[in-house]
A = this chain, B = another copy of it.
C-alpha cells in the first residue's frame, strides 16, 4: 500500500467506526424504548431518535466518504488483505444504497412506513383489509422504484430480497421452496392423521414468573451467554438488541400459564446473542465484523432453539432442573414425554406461533405472494382470498378473518418485502450446520446430554460468528459444510423426527 492509500483506508476506518458507534447508540435507544422507557416519553424519544437518525444519515452520505471510497476503488485490489477488502466492499455497498436513492423517495418511504404502521394496526384491529390496501399498493410501487435506483441489474423482488439476504435470488429460493412444499404438505397431513398424538396437558398450569426467569437465565448462561457483556430483560416482543458485541441485550416475555414460550424465546434470543458476542475481536466497530445476513443470524437462533433446545438430549439434561423448578406440574413427566410435548405439530393461522414443521409453509405462502405482487401476477385486491386459499391448500386451515390471515404480520406496513424467506433459509442453514457439526464433533449429542455446550459454542464461534462479513452466505455454507445450501438436510431431519414422534412409520 502506498502512503496515500494507507491514509485513505485509515480515513475510511475512522469514518466507519464513527458511524458504527452512533449506530450502537441508536440500538441502545431502541432497546431502552422497548424495555425501560416511561410511557410518557414516547413523543420526546421519537424526536431524539429522529435527530440521531439525521446525524447518521448525514455521516453515511457524506461526500468525503464517497471520495475516500472512490480513491480506494482505483487501487489494485491485491493491495488489500481480506479484512480490509471486506470493509471497503461493505462500505461501498452501504454508501451506494444510501446515496443512489433520491431524497424525496427516502422521505416518502420513511413517512409511509411511519403512517403505514398505524394504518395497518388499525386495519388489523378492525379486520378491514381494504383500509390497508392502498398503503400496501403504494409501498410496492415505491419499493419497485427503490429497486431500480439501488440494484438496477436485479429484478425488483430480487433487489428487495438482496436487502436482507444478499446474493440470494428467487431463482435460488423458488426450487428450494417447491421441494420443501412437496415434502412438508404430505408430512403434515400424515402427522395430523396419526393415531398417536403426544400428551401436552402437563404444559398447562401455573408456572411462577420468577422461577421461569431463573431457569431462563441459567440455561442462557449454560449456553455460554456472557452476562458481563449482556443483559436479559422483558419486552412485549422478544428480541436481541444492544449497542455492541460487549453489550448484547436479549429479552423475553412471561405468561404464568406457559413456561415453554418464554424459555424457548430465551434460547432463541441467546442464539442471536451468542452470534453478536462471538464477533471477531478485531474491527468490532467495522463492517467486516458484522453479522452476515438475516438468514445467517436466524440460523444461529434456530440452531440453539431447534437443533439443541428441541433435541431429546436437551430434555435429558434439563429434566431434573425443570422438575425441581416446577415440581407440582412436572414431577411425574418423563424425558420422552417432555421431548414429544415440545415437538408437537399444530397447523394454525399465526406464523409467529407456528411449530418448526408448519413454519416453512407460512413463509412459502408469503414468498409466493410477494413474488406475485412484484411481477404483477397478483394484485393487492386479490390478497385476502389468495392468502386463505393457500392456507387451506398448504396447512389445511382457513383463517376465519383477515386479522388472523393477511393482516397478521407487521412487515409489509414498513415496506419490508423480501424479509420472510430469511426465516426459512435460516432454519435450513441451521440444520445443515448441525449435520456438519455432528460429523466434526461426534460427541455432540453426549455433550448436550451433559449440558456441556462449550464445544458447540466454540464450533459456531470459529466457523460462523468470528467470520463476520468476510464471505457471502453462499461461500460460508460451502466452506463450512462442503456443499451449497441443500434443503434435503432439513426435510430429512423433519421427516425422521416427526415420523418417530407421531409413530407414523
Interface residues, chain A, with chain B CB atoms under 8 Å away: 17-18, 21-22, 24-25, 28-29, 32, 36-41, 43-45, 47-48, 50-52, 54-55, 226-231, 243-247, 284-285
Of B47, B52, B231, B284, which is within 8 A of A36 by CB?
Answer: B231
A246 and B51 contact, Cβ closer than 8 Å, known pairs A28-B29, A32-B28: no
What residues of B have a CB within 8 angstroms of the CB of A285 in the complex? 44, 47
A21 and B37 contact, Cβ closer than 8 Å, known pairs A29-B28, A55-B55: no
What are 8 A-B contacts defined by CB distance under 8 Å? A21-B50, A28-B29, A37-B247, A40-B228, A43-B246, A44-B245, A44-B284, A45-B247
**Copies of this chain, tallied across the complex:** 2
Main secondary structure of the interface of A (DSSP, over half): helix
Other than the known A28-B29, A38-B229, A39-B228, what 16 A-B pairs have Cβ atoms closer than 8 Å? A21-B52, A22-B52, A24-B48, A25-B25, A25-B48, A38-B231, A40-B226, A40-B246, A41-B244, A41-B246, A41-B247, A43-B246, A44-B247, A45-B243, A48-B243, A55-B55
Distance in Å: Cβ of A118 to nearest Cβ of chain B:
13
Smallest Cβ-Cβ distance to A18: which chain B residue? B51
Asked whether B54 lies within 8 Å of A18 as measured between CB atoms, the reply is yes
Asked whether B22 lies within 8 Å of A55 as measured between CB atoms, the reply is yes
Smallest Cβ-Cβ distance to A44: which chain B residue? B244
Q: How far is the CA of A50 from the CA of B24 in the complex (A)?
A: 12
Asked whether A228 lies within 8 Å of B48 as measured between CB atoms, the reply is no
Q: How far is the CA of A166 from the CA of B321 in the complex (A)?
A: 61
Distance in Å: Cβ of A110 to nearest Cβ of chain B:
12
Smallest Cβ-Cβ distance to A58: which chain B residue? B55
Distance in Å: Cβ of A283 to nearest Cβ of chain B:
13
What residues of B have a CB within 8 angstroms of the CB of A28 in the complex? 28-29, 32, 48
